[in-house]
Structure 1
């Protein structure tokens, strides 16, 4: 038995090193070294293969189906339509997004000091507590992502078992951040699929919608539940310092220091660099120890999301290649991508999330069947982000709901049923926003 444990630990450590190597290769590509995406993708895929047996059965099955369909479509395009396939590069789909996710993971090393353990704040109760919980998860989650749910959820759990209002505040606070946060995987995906999107316009649409989602959550939960004894998380100004500072740094690099790099690229190298700089004052050996520990423990633990994103990228490449080969690059799902088509696309992705598909699948498949002009990429990006935000909140197999289930025991079906009304309301708001874009001058 000890030998088996040692073998598993060694395998996972090697996989973590490969993931870290993929990140370094991706960052090298931003320099004059100009490293291609091929070695980056190989490093990530090798890590996935090493970690495959550790994946939950559901994730393994879904990822295997995605990758299998992608490969089958590539083979069909090559055999039946004589498409010229660049086989060495078929695995590089979504490597930009995966590298960004790996880079963002290093945020856990920022600001931590030897022996420090600051409390997250005193819990409060009532509607104010729910509002504070939602806002805390939302703002901190823009940078820390899913780890914020565990930080705040564990803090609330010290007061007793979590209640449904607390679960819903955690769920909706994080999922709604997908509407606008540049640090979320959702933004990385749409920026990769729609490189000419205008982030300021997406921010102008997504941030107000997220705030409305928060207000809707507080009002709805206040009506449905007695909140007098429901503990909430008290957000302190100190806890906002890190996400606000990181957002400001990203904007500084994007608009000043490195304007030629996309926001996804900047996040990929900036967060690990800040983590390195914040730990160096504690000593080189301390810094190396923390980075080593992060590499061999935290990075392999990301196997689920990394596998899903890579396999979805392979599916997208296979589908787009097959469609182009079969139709001589002339068929598209829609002849144009206007408000009506955007609404249909949004509804289709949310519906697919309800039956258990991750929104990245719907967004990626949609992109592969469109020929988006530059002036329609912002609309596509908003559709993808909105579908991601609503779909992950209500989808029983979304990452946030699976995490809540695994950590605290709440079932995905219960979360889905409790979120249906919220999902319908958010769907109506998103559709209204899409239909108003042209009258408001935000859609040419």
Structure 2
């Protein structure tokens, strides 16, 4: 592991402290949202020079636009701006991302060769690779791609079908996983959405995406020598158990807290508790390693989410100041508007914009109410699943490029057919969901 500098370690400590304060805020004893936002932004400032150039430019553009729109709203339209609170956008989501990252502490580092499973070949191996990344990724997120990818790469350099299985397995989990950043963003933007309704529609669509991946790659490539990964039933215990715990807290123990809030405190606590049988010294060492090494490595996604939050605030404030409460992008949000929104966000991702930008901008232009929030949530998650799979600058494609050397353009070109097929399924599901919700 590359040694971190004092500056990076300090940033990691600030990010971890922000997570701790966010959890304290859930108790209701004291409001910590300003402190959390300042600590996260200070961490980004310390890590700014380490952010990859493309991501840094994109984040800088979002920050400049957000600040510019706030200044116009204040000095042109006379809007009242909460300047101390302007940095709080998406801090809930970033805190959740930081909390989820601690789940990598489950299991010992020494002697670990990857996720348990058995290698197979052919289309069945591709499907099993997809399933392994998909279900483990619902909890472990991007780290699962590296765990499975590194295991497969022990035999030979990864091939295009293997890259595509890794990419699609993770990106399609955005359709339903409550632990994904996409779900955190959506829940923050439309808090009255019905998660179970979205999951009922999104989960089968994700399974169809996996089946299509296996069939399509079998047609396009010779998979006879392509090594796949088979997920063992034992490996599913952790993600299924975590999901059950989250639902237990949400419906029984802490019903006043959102799923995002529950995930934020529950996953790090479970991860830390799983290390305690090894002793306090072992647990403290692993938490320190994670804080000083893993958290600074999250600089790209943290900066992007915070910058997008500032953009959303600036845009929504400017629109309200310039037009009042009477203007919105659509008079209503039903099936036609949902289809237009999905296409717009997906195409913007294809051009290089992260889906969070399109989702956040669109939400700031829509006064969504009731069932419209659930429909919008599915639109946003679907566009996220399509956009991150095909977008050359998405987090997963940039990560694959940095880890294994495959270019984002190569991934985009080989995912176009998949994106078109998945989009067709999304169109059908949006129509069914809209009719079901009667919007």
Q: CA RMSD in A?
A: 1.4
Change (3 A) 1:11 1:159: same
* TM-score with structure 1 setting the length: 0.96
Give the Cα separation in 2 of the matches to 1:83 and 1:118. 54
Q: TM-score, normalised by structure 2?
A: 0.98
Name the counterpart of 2:307.
Answer: 311
Distance 2:63 2:395 in 1: 19
> What secondary structure, in the 3-state scheme, does the structure 2 residue paired with 1:31 have?
coil
**Structure 2 residue 437 is the aligned partner of structure 1 residue 442:** yes
Cα distance in structure 2, aligned partners of 1:102 and 1:349: 26
Go from structure 1 to structure 2 and tell me whether the alpha carbon gap of 1:119 and 1:323 turns closer, same or farther (over 3 Å shift).
closer
Q: Which runs of 5+ in 2 are unaligned?
A: none
Residues in 2 aligned to 1:279 and 1:328: alpha-carbon distance in whole angstroms: 53
Q: 1:195 aligns to what? A: 191
Partner of 2:169: 173
| Structure 2 contact 133–166 (Cα < 8 Å) conserved | yes
Per-residue deviation, residues 295-343 of structure 1 (Å, max 9, x unmatched) = 1110000000000000000000000000000002221110100000000
Q: Does 1:404 align with 2:400?
A: yes
Tell me the residue number matched to 1:208.
204
Superposed displacement of residue 179, structure 1: 0.2
Matched, 1:302 2:292: no
Q: Among 363, 371, 375, which residue is 1:375 paired with? A: 371
Give the corresponding residue for 1:122: 118
Equivalent pairs, count:
438
Secondary structure of the structure 2 residue equivalent to 1:123: strand
Output aligned runs, 1:357-436, within 5 Å. 357-436=353-432
CA shift, 1:51, in A, is 0.4
User: Segments of 4+ in structure 1 off by > 3 A?
Assistant: 113-119
Q: Secondary structure at the match of 1:233?
A: strand
CA contact (8 A) 1:18 1:43 kept: yes
Q: Which residue of 2 aligns with 1:231?
A: 227
Whether the aligned pair in 2 keeps the contact of 1:379 and 1:443 (CA below 8 Å) is no
Deviation at 1:116, TM superposition (A): 5.5
Distance 1:116 1:59, change over 3 A: closer
Correspondence for 1:150:
146
Structure-to-structure mapping, 1:128-139, within 5 angstroms: 128-139=124-135
Structure 1 counterpart of 2:322, from 320, 326, 334: 326
Give 1:287 shift.
Answer: 1.0
Structure 2 counterparts to residues 72-91 of structure 1, below 5 A = 72-91=68-87
Which range is displaced more, 387-396 or 218-227?
218-227
CA gap 1:149/1:412 in 2 versus in 1, 3 angstroms? same
Provide the C-alpha distance between the structure 1 equivalents of 2:113 and 2:220, rounded to a whole number of angstroms: 36
